[in-house]
Structure 1
Amino acid sequence: MILLIDAGNTRIKWRVVVVAAAEPLRALDEGALAHDGVAALAAVRSRHPGLRRAFGCNVAGAEVAAAIARACAGLALDWLRPSAACGGVRNLYEDPARLGADRWAALIGARRLHPHACLVVTAGTATTVDLLAADGDFLGGLILPGVELMQQALAQGTAQLPLAEGRFTPMPRRTVDAIRSGCLQAQAGAVERMFRQIAGEPQALCLLGGGAADSFAGLLEIPLRRVDNLVLSGLGALAAAHDGH
């Protein structure tokens, strides 16, 4: 039994899985915590006394990693580190080790889910847009501010643009709607422009996940599948392989 951990910029997602020979990976429990609530992982351990190790990725910094390590004391804890190749994906970053561990795990999860050309999009605090070729090559990708960060930047960097709740409309006629619509169109535009590079590939698909995904999913005019927790899926695939599954 393994505890999978995705320590992101805003939240810590977790999943308890069972790895058994000749059987599919089985999820028993999962949830999400705020960074200051990481101690609650102790309750997860209490519910699952068979846990023997934890495997995760962390982009939240050393302090969060240390808090997770304290909560997982007694478990063998390993962190994913990007490499040149793993889980059927080849990393073509100029320096493979510099790729974010969460993006690396999501690419591995995407490869397991859809073994064809795909665009892997995670819309959270930041939005990442990564190209994965049909042969498993990670070709590169984008990082841009997420929807909320874009809105906050406008409010903080200008004198007269408010941080207020707007709505999407194709032709905004209120400032708050212009801000909201602009941020959503920017997200959708970046995704669609990247997808053009694989649009001609057989069964090419955009895999879209993350907490802000639904805010602009309806604007996308490309083959699309909503998939959440690709990072945990990728971690699970690697954990199963490590256990000889």
Structure 2
Amino acid sequence: MMLLLDAGNTRIKWSVTDSGAEPGAWLAEGGFEHAEAAAALPAVLAAHPGIDRVLGANVAGPAVRALLEAPLAAAGLPVEWLTVTAARAGVRNAYTVPGQLGADRWAALIGARRLHRGPCLVVCAGTATTADLLDADGLFRGGIILPGVDLMLRALAGNTAQLPLADGHFRDTPRSTVDAIVSGCLHAQAGAVERMFAQISGQPGALCLLSGGAAGRFAELLELPLRRIDNLVLIGLATLAPGAPGQA
């Protein structure tokens, strides 16, 4: 069995899968905060004693990496961290410096290629929102990064004198300050995604793959062909494991 880890800026998502299983066919999955790693990881290992391999993507920095590696090393399980290259698993990386692309975005693109062979916009909505263009031939053309929904809300609260940390709701025509703040932030997310998707909207089979913990905040606002995917980064990691269906 394999343990897959997606170490993001706020949380660590994980899944357990059988080697050679279809990516996304998890035996178990979950998540925990960075500071919970010392207790959470041993609990996962104890619940799944057959784990003999660990694959991970980390964008949370060396301190979080060390938090994850320590309990796994104590169990005799080194982590195979994903490194970003110019090409892998049918995806080609058009970044000017390929290694500067985040490992989470790289894994998500690989997962997207596994799930959809047509042109797609790969959107991951978390602490930050990313929207990456992937052509039908597997070329990652580039993408954008913008603050996630909560970051936008906190930025308004922290940098203006009279705008609160909003606990409002989306409205087409907001008539209160808290609703205006929430609606503006959600419009910003949806608008950025739709503008990126417009670059491929005329291509046959074009699709937006939407993943991430904040995806549900603005998914219903999007007016484009859409498929919601849970844990796209983990699907990409599973795709990379030798023997996985679709591995190349």
Q: TM-score range by the shorter chain?
A: over 0.9
Is residue 2:91 matched to residue 1:92? no
Count of residues in Structure 1 that have an aligned counterpart in Structure 2: 243
Q: Kindly provide the CA deviation profile for residues 92-137 of structure 1, in whole angstroms up to 9, marking residues without a partner as x.
A: 0000000000000000000000011000001111000000000000
- Structure 1 residues 243, 164: CA separation in 2 closer, same or farther (over 3 Å shift)? closer
1:134 equivalent among 136, 139, 146: 136
Gaps of 5+ in 2: none
The aligned runs of 1:193-232 (5 Å cut-off) are 193-232=195-234
Match for 1:173: what amino acid?
Answer: R
State the 1:232 CA deviation: 0.1
Query: Does the C-alpha gap of structure 1 residues 203 and 243 become closer, same or farther in structure 2, counting only changes over 3 Å?
Result: closer
Match in the other structure for 2:103: 101
**Is the Cα–Cα contact under 8 Å of residues 156 and 163 in structure 2 kept in the other structure?**
yes
| Match in the other structure for 1:51 | 51
In the other structure, the counterpart of 1:37 is: 36
Does the 8 Å contact 1:82/1:96 carry over to 2?
A: yes
Q: Kindly report the root-mean-square deviation, in angstroms, between the aligned alpha carbons of the 2 structures.
A: 1.6
Instruction: For residue 4 of structure 1, report the CA deviation from its aligned partner.
Output: 0.5
Query: Quick one: distance in 2 between partners of 1:225 and 1:244?
Result: 20
> Aligned equivalents of 1:125 and 1:135: distance in 2?
30
Q: Provide the C-alpha distance between the structure 1 equivalents of 2:52 and 2:183, rounded to a whole number of angstroms.
A: 47
Per the alignment, residue 27 of structure 2 pairs with 28
AA aligned opposite 1:166: G
Sequence identity (%)? 63
Unpaired runs of 5+ residues, structure 1, are: none
SS of the aligned residue for 1:57 comes to strand
SS of 1:130's partner is strand
The yes-or-no answer on 1:71 pairing with 2:71 is yes
Q: Distance in 2 between matches of 1:172 and 1:243?
A: 48
Once the two structures are TM-superposed, the CA of residue 200 in structure 1 deviates from its matched residue by: 0.9
Rounded Cα–Cα distance in structure 1 between residues aligned with 2:193 and 2:5: 27
Q: Does 1:178 align with 2:180?
A: yes
Deviations 1:135-188 (A, max 9, x none): 000000010000110010011111111112011111111111111000000000
Distance 1:112 1:146, change over 3 A: same
Is 2:11 the partner of 1:11? yes
Displacement of 1:52 in angstroms is 1.2
Give, in whole Å, the separation in 2 of the partners of 1:154 and 1:232: 32
Shift of the alpha carbon at 1:68?
0.5
Task: Output the CA distance in 2 between the equivalents of 1:242 and 1:222.
Answer: 31
Q: Retained in 2: the 8 A contact 1:52–1:76?
A: no
The alpha carbon displacement at 1:24 in A equals 3.6
Letter in 2 for 1:34: E
- How high is the TM-score relative to the length of structure 2? 0.94
Which residue in the other structure is 1:162 paired with? 164
Which shifted more, 71-80 or 187-196? 71-80
Tell me the SS of whatever aligns to 2:13. strand
